[in-house]
Structure 1
């Protein structure tokens, strides 16, 4: 079973990252989460340290491009198959770094992909 890392996870129910965790869990996906504050969403622990993650298939980004910059290498080092750039996270500079590392870049909305059965 493939594992998804929700990157930029929030405890706030109105945030898309929060909704994404819930929908991914409902869809039967294996979900882990990274955010700036620890907490629990739909049974998923939000971690504040990236060294806790391994064997990540998909990183779904919910962090604006300015804040992504400090995590470029951390995300590349996770060796995911793909990184999904959700609306508001688009970042051509990061796309290039990921592609150079052999990581697939997908500019899409995780919630839409789930709703139309195109997530995997």
Structure 2
């Protein structure tokens, strides 16, 4: 796993090219930004196997968690996400979960309600 402070976790990764999580991983790859793919479904993308989200793998040096899991389902992953000690959580459209955002903010984690693809495309990432 990459060991630096710029690591992005793509939660809800997909190998389906029509999914935004796929596009986000692809654009991170194009911009040489290190990332790890997490999903409850097995898969592989860009030569990287998905880590099983259900295993709640220990991952260090997390800077950003970008979410592609529906807002309602995030409750079951909240403690895990916060245990990773990210510096930032990006709530992509459809993932807006105020309980997670409030808990993250209370820990000093930056929360962004935006789109990873737009952020990457405009240099705001």
In structure 2, the gaps of 5 or more residues are none
| Cα shift at 1:54 | 1.6
Separation of aligned partners in 1, 2:72 and 2:26: 26
Deviation per residue, 1:51-71 (Å, 9 max, x gap): 242211000000011111100
- Scaled by the length of structure 1, the TM-score of the pair is 0.94
Give the drift of 1:45.
Answer: 2.0
Alignment equivalent of 1:47, drawn from 51, 55, 67: 51
Aligned length, in residue pairs: 119
Moved over 3 A (4+): none
* Structure 2 contact 72–97 (Cα < 8 Å) conserved: no
The correspondence for 2:38, drawn from 13, 34, 50, is 34
State the alpha-carbon separation in 1 of the partners of residues 98 and 113 from structure 2. 10
Aligned with residue 57 of structure 1, among 54, 58, 63: 63
Task: State the distance in 1 between where 2:92 and 2:48 align.
Answer: 20
Asked whether the equivalents of residues 58 and 84 of structure 2 are also in contact (C-alpha less than 8 Å), the reply is no
What residue is the counterpart of 1:90 in the other structure? 96
1:34–1:50 CA contact under 8 A, matched in 2: no
- Compute the TM-score of the two structures, normalised by the length of structure 2: 0.90
Please state how far the C-alpha of 1:12 moved relative to its aligned partner: 1.5
Question: Match of 2:93, SS?
Answer: coil
Could you tell me how far apart the structure 2 residues matched to 1:11 and 1:52 are?
Answer: 22
Say if 2:7 is the partner of 1:3: yes
Query: What are the ranges of 5 or more consecutive residues in structure 1 without an aligned counterpart?
Result: none
CA distance in 2, matches of 1:28, 1:50: 25
